[in-house]
Amino acid sequence: RISLSNWAATLFALHTRHPWTLDVSLARPVLGPREQAGLESLLSILYSTGLDSPTIRRSVSMLFHFIRGSARTLAEIRSASTIGESESHWWAQSSAALTAAAPDFADRFPHTMQLGREAPPTLGGDFYLEREAEESFTQGLQILLDGIESQIRKHS
């Protein structure tokens, strides 16, 4: 599990340092030795678990999509923060506009309101959305790894 977690964190860090890599298509990827080395490293970890090849294929796909999606969200947050408005200012203005447009928002979307009350974002400073994205990646990865471990136990 530690190896898989480290592999995922390394790829996430690569994509967040170099967000242009997220523009490389998974449908028609770059076919080079470095790209293949990253995949080979992941396959080595997964094959060592005893999983069958179809489950490994789906796990590879799931991990790549999750990591890339998480990194893309972080890249979008960073890009938006360079537009000129602070995160807190943008959210305050947008929330006010939403309240005006949908005064019955709380009644129409009670689960959204519940989540906001029971698990609000960790505010503080203009980089709280970056922290939220990083924490979502970390916790989401643990949930995915729990699922892979469940498959390993099932195949044992």
Q: Taking the domains of the chain in order of start, what are their residue ranges?
A: 2-81+127-155
pLDDT tens, 5-28? Answer: 999 999 999 999 999 999 998 888
pLDDT at 72: 97
| 8 Å CB contact between 144 and 63 | yes
Output the six-digit token pair for 119: 């698990």
Output the six-digit token pair for 49: 């678990």
Q: Which residue has the tokens 């916790």?
A: 139
Contacts of 59 (CB under 8 A, 6+ apart): 46, 51, 148, 151
Could you tell me the pTM of the whole model?
Answer: 0.84
pLDDT tens, 50-87? Answer: 999 999 999 999 999 999 999 999 999 888 876 667 77
C-alpha gyration radius of the chain: 19
Average pLDDT score, the chain:
89
Contacts of 11 (CB under 8 A, 6+ apart): 38, 67
Output the six-digit token pair for 95: 């929330």
pLDDT at 126 over 70: no
Output the six-digit token pair for 77: 């947050």
Q: Which residue has the tokens 């136990």?
A: 153
User: Distance between CA 36 and CA 75 in Å, rounded?
Assistant: 24
Domain 2-81+127-155 is found in CATH 2.60.40.10: no
